[in-house]
Amino acid sequence: MERPLIEEIHDRIDEFTSTERKAAYALLANYPVQGLDTVANFAKAAGVSSPTILRFVARLGFPGFADFQGRLRKELASQLNTPLARSSELQQVPPDNMDPLVAQMVDNVRETFAHLPKGELEGVIRLLADEKRTIHLIGGRFTDALARYTAAHLRIVRPNVIHVAGQQGNWFDQLLGVGSKDVIVVFDIRRYQTEIIRFAETAAAQGASVVLVTDSWMSPVGRIASFVLPARVAVPSPWDSSTALMAIAEVLIAGVSAANPERSQKRMQALEDLRNGHDPSKGGETMPDGE
């Protein structure tokens, strides 16, 4: 068969108009089930009108919605008919006796970057490297650690980096004065927290750019995000894996450092001096939790 439609949509995401992209994300978020519903329901789920759905499938090259659904059914049928063949595919990767969990994590990182739209990464890095903008980072129950990690690094290479943490009630205080010069970076995977979604939406409404790092295109934040970086998180374990998310974070950090090497160098040096001057023997200043 031809290559999976989901991959094509993912790779061609840039060709779509903004509302068509909403349709694409809605479909990817619940693939392929969302596409097997009626046009009207699909439209409602995506937050767009019916004609937009039709234009979306037309741009994908289908003469009509029925043909599109036919393709989805065909893919689904062939996928469901070879469940065991597929799952054994997972263990083919390790040449040696590698833990399947580890093998999958390695694969997730590779696959994540193989499918990241190239322009998407560059766009985000350009945004984050712009020091005239203020960066706000926020994450969910587990992914907050990633937001913190990224903030700790970005803070070193550029000014105006804020990690949104602590009491949820206080989050919205931080939205005061947020506007088109601000960037919100959201780490959000399944079990999306409504507070985070509201935070991102409010910020977007005030004109801020939203960058979303998420699992396979599912977060509702995707609708209002300027950039979406989807990562593979599935592993043979009750948990989702954040390893690929961490890899994305590090690529962003490296990219921002490289985007302006002199500035990064200078700031690192200055911080080094400050640290030594303040306290040569003990690392006595505010520590990891210094918010």
Partner DNA sequence: ACAATTCTGTAACAAAAAATACAACAGTTA
Partner DNA sequence: TAACTGTTGTATTTTTTGTTACAGAATTGT
Q: Which residues, at least 6 apart from 242, have a Cβ–Cβ distance to it below 8 Å?
A: 142, 143, 146, 189, 233
Binds 49: which of DNA, a second copy, none (CB < 5-8 Å by kind): DNA
Residue number, 58 or 247, with CB nearest to a second copy: 247
Distance in angstroms (rounded) separating the CA atoms of residues 151 and 153: 5
- Is residue 1 a contact point for a second copy (CB under 8 A)? no
What is the closest distance, in whole angstroms, from the C-beta atom of residue 186 to a second copy in the complex? Answer: 13
Binds 107: which of DNA, a second copy, none (CB < 5-8 Å by kind): a second copy
Q: Are 183 and 136 in contact (CB under 8 A)?
A: yes
- Is residue 230 a contact point for a second copy (CB under 8 A)? no
What is the closest distance, in whole angstroms, from the C-beta atom of residue 179 to a second copy in the complex? Answer: 25
- Is residue 280 a contact point for a second copy (CB under 8 A)? no
Q: Which residues, at least 6 apart from 250, have a Cβ–Cβ distance to it below 8 Å?
A: none
- Is residue 62 a contact point for a second copy (CB under 8 A)? no
What is the closest distance, in whole angstroms, from the C-beta atom of residue 73 to DNA in the complex? Answer: 12
- Is residue 2 a contact point for a second copy (CB under 8 A)? no
What is the closest distance, in whole angstroms, from the C-beta atom of residue 133 to DNA in the complex? Answer: 19
- Is residue 50 a contact point for a second copy (CB under 8 A)? no
Long-range contacts of 48-53 (CB under 8 A, 24+ apart): 48/19, 48/22, 48/23, 49/19, 52/19, 52/20, 52/22, 52/23, 53/23
According to CB under 7 A, which one of 24, 26, 54, 185 is a site residue for DNA? 54
Q: Are 196 and 186 in contact (CB under 8 A)?
A: yes
In 104-113, which positions are buried (b, 16+ CB within 10 angstroms) versus exposed (e)?
bbebbbeebb
Applying the rule CB under 8 A, the residues between 148 and 167 that interact with a second copy are 148-149, 152-153, 165-167
* Interface positions with DNA (CB under 7 A): 17-20, 38-40, 48-52, 54-55, 57, 63-66
